[in-house]
Amino acid sequence: MPEDAIPEHHRRERTCPVSTPSNYIPPFPGYCSRFQATMNDLVMAMMGAQYDSVTGNDGIAVTKLQEFVSRGPQSKRPSFWETTSVIDKRGAYSIAVIAYWRSADLHSSWQQESGFDTWWQSSDREKDGHGWFQEILCPTMDRFETVFSNPENPEGAANMQERISGELEQHAYWGSMRDRLAAAQDNKLEGDRWCSEDGTANGSSDDADSSKRVRISGRPNLCVIRSGQDWSDTLPGERKLYLDTMHPVLVEGMKFLRDEGREVGCYAMNLWDVVDSNSFEANSERTFGLGYFDDLASLEYWSKSHQTHINIFGGFLMYAKKLNNVLSLRLFHEVYVLEPDQQFFEYIGCHAETGMMNARRS
């Protein structure tokens, strides 16, 4: 029997109906992380540097960040971290450490005891000659969900899991993402819609503050997705199939959200490369999209209704069918739906379309 994605200790009386079709059997397997019942929240933090171009990066900034995640008492350090980079739509180059902690308290202790917070708050950060950014997500466990195509290779927060689930029931149908979220059992998780009726967003596009610290306030039920792809272990036939069919439509979908996402309530999206933590060279076989939506419904709308995602989802179904649902390609995603006080976004010397700064644009 397929498992319920929501663990027993998070189940409660449901007032919001599920979308699972009756007598549903998923067309291919999917799995989710099972965390300890005593784990109340977690932290995903993206800490990085931004340069005008790739040539501006000398590696010093990201090395500094790597030193910080390796500092402090071992019990307070992140459970998992890796290095990642992207060239955004303005041609700016960002390189960052993405790190995970088992609780907000552990993360707060690490900030203090590693010296990171003192370093970050120093006015020297505004004089370093490049941008800095820090994006921190602190969901309670009922506001976080995962899904994986492969049960053997943990990614992201799954490095903190107690175990992986068996095959899921809530998987591979429209609405399954919401059905996996424990908070959605009795909460519609509605956010502040970004676009007004005339198609414009709130805020300013002025770059005048780009040399200063910019703190972006949290949004109610902000929806964040980190969706990864790893084709490093594919055999030649499957690799060619992925690169010829799946990867191009993925890139097109991420580009639409990056450049025109306001049409569907997407504040920001970038397709990041996982990079070697020593050489900082991109791993050409591991990527992930990291996107911010005004609420879960906007992410669902793009997923179900926009041609760019229909191409991705429909293409994957055909991809899996050609391989008889035996895939070496590894896919995962993490979805966060956050209260305002579960978000922290601060940018120093970054351009106005960086991350959640883009939420201010008109």
Residues annotated as catalytic are 333
The dihedral through the CA atoms of 298, 300, 304, 307 has a sign that is positive
283: left (phi over 0), alpha (psi -120 to 50) or beta: beta
Residues in the chain: 362
135/253 Cα distance (integer angstroms): 23
The dihedrals phi and psi of 136, each to the nearest 5 degrees, come to -125, 130
The helix/strand count (H/E) of the chain reads as 8, 13
The residues, any chain, with a CB within 8 Å of residue 197's CB and separated by 6 or more, are none
271/291 Cα distance (integer angstroms): 9
Give the closest residue to 293 by CA, choosing from 199, 358, 203, 216. Answer: 358
Long-range contacts made by residues 192-196, C-beta under 8 angstroms, separation at least 24? Answer: 192/219, 192/220, 192/294, 192/295, 193/265, 193/294, 193/295, 193/298, 194/262, 194/265, 194/267, 194/294, 194/298, 194/359, 195/262, 195/263, 195/265
| DSSP codes joined into one string, 252-316 | HHHHHHHHHGGGGTEEEEEEEEEE-TTT--EEEEEEEEEEEESSHHHHHHHHHH-HHHHHHHHHH
Helix (H, G, I), strand (E, B) or coil at 326: coil
